[in-house]
Structure 1
Amino acid sequence: MTSEQQPNIKVYIIHGYGAGPQSHWFQWLKQQFEAQGIIVYVPALPDSEHPVKEQWDECLKQTIGVPDEYTYFVAHSLGCIALLDYFRQLEPRPQIGGMILVSGFSTPISGYSLINPFVGNAFHPEHFIAMTAQRVVIAAKDDPIVPFAQTEQLAHDLEARFITVEHGGHFLDSEGFTELPLVHEQLTAMINP
Structure 2
Amino acid sequence: MNRRKIIVASGNINKIKEIKKILDGLNLDIISKNEVGLKDIEVIEDKDTLEGNAIKKAKEISELVDGIVLADDTGLFVDKLNGEPGVYSARYAGEDANDLNNNKKLLKKLEGLNLEDRTAEFRTVIAIVLEDKTVKTLTGVCKGKIALERTGNNDFGYDPLFIPDGYKETFAEMPQKIKNDISHRANALKKLRLKLEEVLDNE
TM-score (norm 1): 0.38
Larger Rg: 2
More strand by share: 2
The higher-RCO structure (CA 8 Å, 6+ apart) is 1
